[in-house]
Amino acid sequence: MKIGIIGIGNIGGTIARKMKAGGHEVYVANADGVEGVRKFADEIGAKAADLYGAVAGADVVVLSIPLPAMSELPSDLFDAVPQDVPVVDTSNYYPGLRDARIPELDDGMTESVWVSRQLGRPVIKAFNNVLAYSLQKLGLPEGHPGRLAMAVAGDDPRSKQIVMSLVNQAGFDPIDAGSLEDSWRQQPSTPAYCCDYDAKTMRRALAAAIKGQAAEKRDQMPEHFAKLGANPSHEDVVAMNRSLSPLK
């Protein structure tokens, strides 16, 4: 498949590497234009593109940019992209820490529902509830004991299945997390968020989420990270996340 990836940070860049290693034709882009991604593209054997080149003819598009930047994408970016092409939203909302406040989200709108409205098309929520280290280092072959899981939410069954197959190729058990509206269950500071759970536990974590509780915990994250010190280990971060949203 041709996979267009916009954003080559820790998550987008890792997805690009994994999809290229899986034999896909990968195009990468960001707001800096072709030259802004050429070095990375050459490094992994992908093709450097501008935003329009990344989505043109793509079988899947991955958006791995800060959530507020979704509203800054060109309004016609997806005009020529068929509606049955899955668009994956990997973003998370961190107001005050990284992102400007978005009133609709602060009023309780589900993050990826907001993204879908900015783009004017359906999206699939995936690759957002895993730490960058986990995505880079902890993927395992299908069927391997202890394989970690990742939540995938969306409204179109075909698009969701395509994205779930990519999650599987990336080394994680894909868990159907329901509709796009249901994706609030995998947003920051929910029990399913960045806790390195296997498939069985991930399903429990998604079910354990309580609407409206995560935002307050999310906004306290800087204080919790400060307690971990300057260079917390991956294990420390996972343990902290689990302790803030413990499963019974």
pLDDT digits (tens, 9 = 90+) for 179-190: 999 999 999 999
Q: Which CATH number is correct for 66-244, 3.40.50, 2.60.40, 2.30.110, 3.30.70? A: 3.40.50
Residue 94 has pLDDT above 90, yes or no: yes
Identify the band that residue 98 occupies on the pLDDT scale cut at 50, 70 and 90: confident
Q: Are 143 and 175 in contact (CB under 8 A)?
A: no
* Mean pLDDT, range 127-138, rounded to an integer: 98
Looking at per-residue pLDDT, the higher value among 222 and 10 belongs to 10
- CA distances, 148 to each of 83, 145, 189, 201 (Å): 31, 9, 18, 9
The pLDDT of 53-62, averaged and rounded, is: 98
User: For residue 50, what are its two tokens?
Assistant: 């501008």
pLDDT above 90 (res 96): no
| pLDDT at 97 (0 to 100) | 72
pTM (predicted TM-score): 0.96
CB 8 within 8 A of CB 30: yes
* Residue % of the chain over a pLDDT of 90: 94
The pLDDT mean for the chain works out to 96
Confidence of residue 248 (pLDDT cuts 50, 70, 90): confident
